[in-house]
Amino acid sequence: MLLSSATEIPVGKNWLYEVKYDGFRCLLNWENETPTLLSRNGNVLNKMFPEIIHFSETIYEKVKPFLPLKLDGELVYLANDVQSTFFTVQLRGRMRNHSVILDQSKELPCHYIAFDLMEINGESQSNHTIEARKKILQTLFKSMKLPLSVERENPNLIQAIDVYKHSKTVWNKVQVGHGEGIVAKGKSSKWESDIRTGQWQKIKNWKYVTVILTKYDQRNGFFHGSIFNREELVEVVTFKHGLAEDEKKILSNLFLSNGIASEKGTWRLEPSICVDIATIDFDGKHIREPRFYAFNFEKNPEECTWRHMQRQLFPLPERVQITNPDKPIWPMVGVEKDDYLLYLQKVAPMILPFLRDRLLTVIRFTHGAGKESFYQKNTPEAVPEFIMTKEVEDTRFLLCNNVESLLWLGNQHALEFHIPFQTYLTNKPLEIVFDLDPPSVKEFSLAIEAAVRMKAIFDQFGLASYVKTSGRKGLQVYIPLPLNAFTYEETRVFTQFVCTFLCEQEPQWFTTERLIKNRNNKLYLDYVQHKEGKTIIAPYSPRGTEQGLIATPLKWNEVNESLRPEQFTIHAVLERLTKQGDTFRDFRHDIDGQAFKKVLKELKELVINES
């Protein structure tokens, strides 16, 4: 069943709404243990998306009572809950090397988002209305214990799409999350195969990018547009769709009259005329689905830069008011406030799970990084309505639970986000964190050595562990804990044991001495810091140093002699996320409470025996 394009959202009680994800439309045919992923062109995609197949096989017993089963949905790579990164899905679809595909499926796992039910227990559902099919789909997923809502963080790789009754609700989420658009479906519509129907309408969330006209190919009628990346003119689009006949004549005459014939049938123009192009996305090299929108005579070609295009592709939420976007924040590395806000927008899906419901402490640098700063716990009197707060012992803490709050703080020059080890809903830690603090960055190798040794201990205990840079001179090692399972007193038994053990093994390298003057240039293993009321720098938070480094989650195989803190600048981390995804993605789902309980019991018995 195919979608019709629309420019206006149909409204009324006879419509249902859902997010339109930018991925591969795909049927999931499930008859035996291994299902088949079938593209619209009839191609089997099982080999390209092994993570979906493997996940399906692990839940076979739950699904078995409902087979044969057929779902309609989208293969996506979730940048957030409402946006799929199409070129990641597209790249996977083009891969043929099995080992490369497996590596990609682990680093950049895709999801299958089901939005329709075609068949259950071998019985076709096509005669039911979409409203009825949605209800059956929700009941089915509830029975199979699969998510009824799209969640990027959820390790269940098959999820049901969210259904909305009000278009404004979903449209606002799509705009804030930079999704492709929404789909409106008539409640009474029934399945019509291969028919483009007005009962299913797609409304795109267009972005508008300003480019410089640079080339006209008279042979195929396409115009070419470019932007400046530093001093170089870089082509980002070819287009002809969206042009009215008179606009097409104006543009072609402009090139033929003022341009330079460069090769057979093509004409080039010096940077002089700008136009606005409607697009749904940018794949890193080219604007996707470009359509001519308007001439832009107010824009100078010099203003059409890479930075300007990024901001147009990622517009700020309407509710967030920004001041002085050109203000230098990290002048040493050329990062202005607008660059910083763009960074926060892009890492929001990764950092917000760690900030959510935690009593936040920020460090604000009102004149930019490396200059005067101050800690802020208490929320100012006047804050926007989207800011959530929590009063604890006469302090009105700010809760950073959404992207608008994150950007508002960024606009306030909050460059560091420090969080407690628990949410305000519990008095027990959600994770253990070891802070590995060398005397200076010159002794960073000591932090590497301590982290590797800790990993060996945790592996032997059967505990999942994660590691990140501190954003300064050290490393921080995490162990996720179940919710409300262990007290700080209990975790202290474990942290003290690990740190003491390492100091006994290598006393020339490591110390638990709190006084800096008594550490004798050794790495400080801080187990005292892990307690209620203390904080740690959040994953993906910047630091207020002049270099603009990020507290960056790592893969364990990166923790070796070649690792250096200065590798992880804002720009490097954004590129890193594109290539290898979020290494803390499974953090809250990689928890074995029983393993830690067993370790804790053994350590307590050891303490009793020694005493």
- The Cα–Cα gap between 607 and 442 comes to 37
- The Cα–Cα gap between 256 and 249 comes to 10
Paired sense of beta strands 196-204 and 2-5, if any? parallel
* DSSP letter for each residue of 33-45: SS-EEEETTS-B-
Which tokens hold the place of 366? 């009102």
| Residues in CB range of 154: below 8 A, 6 or more apart | 147, 589
Across 344-355, b (16+ Cβ under 10 Å) vs e yields bbbbbbbbbbbb
For residue 68, say if its preceding peptide bond is cis, omega within 30 degrees of 0: yes
**Beta bridge mates, 552:** none
Across 430-457, b (16+ Cβ under 10 Å) vs e yields bbbbbbbbbbeeebbebbbbbbebbbee
Q: Give, rounded to a whole angstrom, the gap between the first and last alpha carbons of the chain.
A: 73
Residue 474 has phi, psi (to 5 degrees) of -130, -165
Active-site position among 20, 215, 337, 522: 20
C-alpha closest to that of 46 among 75, 70, 20? 75
* DSSP letter for each residue of 570-611: HHHHHHHHHHH--TTTTGGG---HHHHHHHHHHHHHHHHHH-
C-alpha closest to that of 20 among 242, 236, 206? 206
Cβ distance 248 to 176 under 8 Å? no
- The Cα–Cα gap between 36 and 112 comes to 12
| Residue 325 burial (10 A CB sphere; 0-12, 13-18, 19+) | middle
DSSP-derived letter for residue 64 is G
Establish how many alpha carbons lie within 13 A of residue 61's alpha carbon, considering only the half-sphere containing its beta carbon: 1
Strand boundaries in 31-138, DSSP class E: 36-39, 69-76, 78-80, 83-84, 111-120, 123-124
| Element at 529 (helix H, strand E) | none
Which tokens hold the place of 433? 């964190």
Residue 249 has phi, psi (to 5 degrees) of -65, -40
C-alpha closest to that of 143 among 160, 163, 162? 160
| Element at 450 (helix H, strand E) | helix 444-461
20 is catalytic: yes
Strand boundaries in 481-547, DSSP class E: 510-511, 523-526, 535-537
- The Cα–Cα gap between 92 and 330 comes to 36
Catalytic residues: 20
